[in-house]
């Protein structure tokens, strides 16, 4: 694929993200005149609309950051595991965070808002550590043991979560608001809490992205080219874990983004991971913002959870793309 084509696709993704960001600020679950909100964005407008805009800024920024983090995490997992169905849940991130939130809710009461962030982040990371330790005990360089270990850990943690919410109804009342994934009530202090993990994850992804091109040619060939395969894999998986764990802790589990965006990225910019990374950042952010806008306006004056929209709309879209042969590993 020519560099000019990739640059054009990247420019288009920037434009789409800007449009989605403006729509996220202008549109809400309550009908308002877009011209009034645009006037506020231009430095004019009434005080009421300024307050509405101030409430939407954190949600828009959080949506863009979380979408970008999930997309990059999915891209890294699919590349390292060479599995087109790879996504953060494959490593136990989602169930690890869920089990941690449930445990904190059972021990200390409702775990919502900032408390959920402090509960979910360690659980997600510990789950991935357990998956890696179990998967690496075989001594094989294959990723199959990691995938199997992820399935086992997720199943065990899933059973634990189900047992806890069945035995403790009050835990379910707290957990159900977090488990679907929502940007409603997003706050900047939540973003600041997960920002260090996000920054470290992005830095690790940047360090690993060059070696992923060689790894795509095969582990033996990559090793022959001087790539330290095991260290590269650990670096990429650490980046994917931190990004997905931080995103999940901030807003709850959100399906589809980490699975589907990497396929769209490869269709637009090809197999070069140095182009895939910025494209995943842009498309992931734009996609989640678009889903959140849809979640606000579909059921006005009520509002859907963004996790419901991404799963309901995204899954059929990905299936259609696979059937048409547009999705490739």
Q: Compute the distance between CA of residue 69 and CA of residue 82 in angstroms, rounded to an integer.
A: 19
- Give domain limits for the chain: 3-323
Non-local CB neighbours of 216 within 8 Å, separated by 6+ positions: 79, 82, 271, 273
Model confidence pLDDT, tens digit, residues 177-229: 677 778 887 888 888 888 999 999 999 999 988 888 887 777 777 777 777 87
Model confidence pLDDT, tens digit, residues 75-124: 999 888 877 777 888 888 888 888 888 888 777 765 555 566 777 788 88
Non-local CB neighbours of 13 within 8 Å, separated by 6+ positions: 268, 279, 282, 283, 286
Q: Is the dihedral of CA 183, 188, 194, 200 positive or negative?
A: positive
**CATH placement of domain 3-323:** 1.10.3470.10
- The CB-side HSE value for 307 (13 A sphere, CA atoms) comes to 20
Non-local CB neighbours of 109 within 8 Å, separated by 6+ positions: 174
Q: What is the largest CA-CA distance in the chain?
A: 65
pTM of the model: 0.87
Q: Compute the distance between CA of residue 87 and CA of residue 171 in angstroms, rounded to an integer.
A: 27
Pick 3 or 197 by higher pLDDT.
Answer: 197
């Amino acid at each position: 694929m020519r560099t000019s084509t990739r640059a054009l696709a990247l420019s288009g993704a920037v434009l789409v993200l800007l449009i989605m960001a403006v729509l996220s600020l202008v549109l809400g679950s309550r009908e308002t005149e877009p011209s009034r909100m645009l006037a506020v964005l231009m430095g004019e407008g009434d005080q009421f609309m300024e307050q509405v805009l101030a409430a939407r800024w954190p949600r828009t920024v959080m949506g863009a950051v979380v979408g970008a983090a999930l997309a990059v995490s999915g891209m890294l997992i699919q590349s390292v595991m060479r599995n087109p169905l790879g996504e953060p849940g494959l490593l136990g991130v989602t169930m690890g965070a869920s089990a941690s939130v449930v445990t904190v809710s059972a021990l200390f009461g409702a775990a919502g808002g900032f408390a959920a962030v402090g509960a979910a982040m360690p659980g997600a990371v510990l789950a991935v550590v357990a998956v890696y330790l179990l998967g690496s005990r075989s001594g094989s360089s294959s990723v199959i043991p990691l995938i199997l270990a992820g399935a086992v850990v997720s199943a065990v943690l899933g059973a634990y979560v189900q047992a806890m919410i069945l035995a403790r109804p009050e835990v379910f009342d707290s957990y159900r608001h977090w488990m679907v994934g929502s940007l409603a009530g997003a706050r900047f202090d939540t973003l600041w809490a997960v920002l260090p993990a996000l920054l470290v994850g992005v830095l690790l992804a940047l360090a690993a992205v060059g070696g992923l091109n060689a790894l795509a040619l095969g582990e033996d060939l990559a090793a022959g080219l001087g790539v330290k395969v095991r260290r590269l894999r650990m670096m990429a998986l650490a980046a994917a874990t931190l990004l997905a764990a931080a995103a999940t802790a901030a807003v709850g589990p959100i399906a589809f983004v980490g699975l589907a965006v990497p396929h769209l990225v490869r269709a637009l910019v090809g197999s070069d991971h140095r182009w895939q990374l910025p494209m995943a950042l842009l498309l992931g952010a734009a996609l989640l913002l678009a889903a959140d806008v849809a979640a606000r306006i579909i059921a006005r004056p009520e509002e859907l959870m963004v996790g419901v929209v991404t799963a309901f709309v995204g899954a059929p879209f990905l299936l259609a793309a696979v059937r048409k042969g547009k999705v490739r590993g």
